[in-house]
Amino acid sequence: MVNPRGATYLARLTPPGKSAIATLSLFGPSAWEIIFKVFKPRTKKPLPILPTPGSVFLGRLGQGHGDEVILGCKTISPMHLEIHPHGGTQVVSMLLEFLQAEGATLCSWQDFITHTTTDPLQSMALILLNQATTIEPSKILLDQFHGAFRLWLDSFLVSITQGDFENALALLVDIAKYSFLSSRLVDPWKVVLAGPTNAGKSSLMNILAGYQRSIVSEVPGTTRDVLWLETAIEGWPVSFADTAGLRNSSDPLENAGMLMGTNAMEQADLVLWVQDCSVAEILPPVLFNNKKVVEVINKIDLDGFNASRLRKDSMGISALSGLGVDALLSKIISELVSPIPKPLQAVAFHPLLKSALEKSKEFVDKGRLLEVPKLWVSFQKNQN
Ligand SMILES: Nc1nc2c(ncn2[C@@H]2O[C@H](COP(=O)(O)OP(=O)(O)OP(=O)(O)O)[C@@H](O)[C@H]2O)c(=O)[nH]1
Ligand SMILES: [Mg+2]
């Protein structure tokens, strides 16, 4: 929180646009004074000199023109009020102008969060929460907003100050299991569909999309560009890329497509190596030896499909009928999200937190325990 005795901040928390109601927030030392001047309760009872936290008032905000609003008091020390007017863009602009004319400082909702949240970890979580597009990351971010990471950090720092090296290390090892999530709560995992031409990559893409995202044809070499599809699987954000089939070709355009596909594979968190069960097996290029690869054997609906073609970890599907696609989706999630954090688990929910944890581990390993609290003090200071 920046300078609680200074400015009184005002922000629109709901997005601009047409809606039944909007939410404005007013925070700072003059918040109640401002409201006192421009708000008239609907009942005869006047506003109290100081509201109690949790109290709600119905009345009119404005002088001359105005709107009937619901006014809520969240906290009084510091004073934090919420105003719910009607949601039309012009009504909201008018009320924002009234409040600014009385001395409130208008800011974006992101700045408002930074100015008004005491705990920098909490404001980081809140800003990410707004950007999370799927449910599982949102649950994790809510837990961190409500203090899961803060609690972890407090006990970690207590262990450090008490010189309890063993517990500090155990706490670091435990939280490190979830560090893979730090960059994947907002940005989706990248899953690339690759394999020989005509294996059914584009057909699989379309069944995942639920509409025709890619052109499908029996002509090998149909797909040229890399086509992305952003979706959610079991509540996790995933981006699929359909790529040009790989084969020896003298066509420069087809080769350019294959190169783009190979680049996409290099960035992938997971490659689905798609093959046609009715043709001889082709192994993924050695280039992807360091990648997570799931082998997908497609077209198992064809007569003559032999289940012995499936290796222990390969997934048999029919992109035509959808057979095996649900199991494939579960497999993708088990490859990408492991372990799945239990409710209230502390998670390094931002890449910067992951780096700070790695740095802490380095200090602990080298026995430089005194550096650890300093690191976290400066980390939190930098977030404000
Ligand atoms: N029987 C059957 N045919 C399929 C299946 N999936 C795809 N096909 C057919 O296989 C052919 C190739 O399908 P695509 O999805 O275009 O294959 P692709 O891997 O994207 O091919 P390229 O873009 O050329 O690399 C088309 O005729 C599809 O209808 C399946 O599960 N079963
Ligand atoms: Mg294709």
pLDDT of residue 384: 66
Same domain, 259 and 170: no
Domain, as residue range, for 201: 189-336
Same domain, 259 and 308: yes
Q: Is residue 88 part of a domain?
A: yes
Q: Is residue 155 part of a domain?
A: yes
Enumerate the H helices of the chain as residue ranges.
Answer: 31-38, 89-101, 109-116, 120-131, 135-145, 148-161, 165-176, 201-209, 252-267, 325-336, 351-365, 371-382
Domain of 274, CATH number, reads 3.40.50.300
Residue where a domain terminates, one of 64, 84, 116: 116
Same domain, 204 and 165: no
Same domain, 174 and 45: no
Q: Is residue 315 part of a domain?
A: yes
Q: Is residue 159 part of a domain?
A: yes
Q: Is residue 84 part of a domain?
A: yes
Nearest ligand for residue 216 CA? 1
Say which residues have a Cβ less than 8 Å from residue 322's Cβ, sequence separation at least 6: 207
| DSSP-assigned letters across all residues of 244-291 | PPB-----HHHHHHHHHHHHHHHH-SEEEEEEETTS---PPPGGGTTS
Q: Is residue 341 part of a domain?
A: no
Q: Is residue 1 part of a domain?
A: no
Same domain, 110 and 127: no
**Which of helix, strand or coil describes residue 353?**
helix
What sign for the dihedral angle of Cα 99, 102, 108, 114?
A: negative
- 22-53 tens-digit pLDDT: 999 999 999 999 999 999 999 989 999 999 99
User: Number of helices (H) and strands (E), helices first, in the chain?
Assistant: 12, 13
Same domain, 38 and 104: yes
Residue where a domain terminates, one of 90, 116, 142: 116
Best residue for ligand 1 mutational test, from 203, 205, 217, 222 (most atoms within 8 Å of Cβ): 203
Same domain, 205 and 311: yes
Same domain, 109 and 215: no
- Distance between Cα 316 and ligand 1 center (Å): 14
- 304-330 tens-digit pLDDT: 898 888 888 899 999 999 999 999 999
Number of domains in the chain: 3
- Distance between Cα 307 and ligand 2 center (Å): 25
Same domain, 200 and 311: yes
Q: Is residue 183 part of a domain?
A: no
- Distance between Cα 225 and ligand 2 center (Å): 9
What sign for the dihedral angle of Cα 95, 97, 102, 105?
A: positive
Nearest ligand for residue 302 CA? 1
Best residue for ligand 1 mutational test, from 197, 216, 274 (most atoms within 8 Å of Cβ): 216
Domain of 74, CATH number, reads 3.30.1360.120
Same domain, 292 and 373: no
Best residue for ligand 1 mutational test, from 192, 197, 198, 225 (most atoms within 8 Å of Cβ): 198
Q: How far is CA 291 from the centre of its chain?
A: 23
Pick the range with the lowest mean pLDDT from 17-21, 244-248, 285-289: 285-289
What atom of ligand 1 comes closest to residue 199's alpha carbon?
19
Look at ligand 1, atom 3, and give the residue with the nearest C-alpha.
Answer: 299
Rounded-to-integer distance, Cα 193 and Cα 203, Å: 11
Ligand 1 environment, Cβ below 6 A: 197-203, 216-218, 220-223, 245, 298-299, 301-302, 318-320
Same domain, 41 and 124: no
Same domain, 109 and 126: no
Nearest ligand for residue 194 CA? 1
- 124-164 tens-digit pLDDT: 999 999 999 999 999 999 999 999 999 999 999 999 999 99
Residue where a domain terminates, one of 91, 116, 141: 116
Tell me the pTM: 0.84
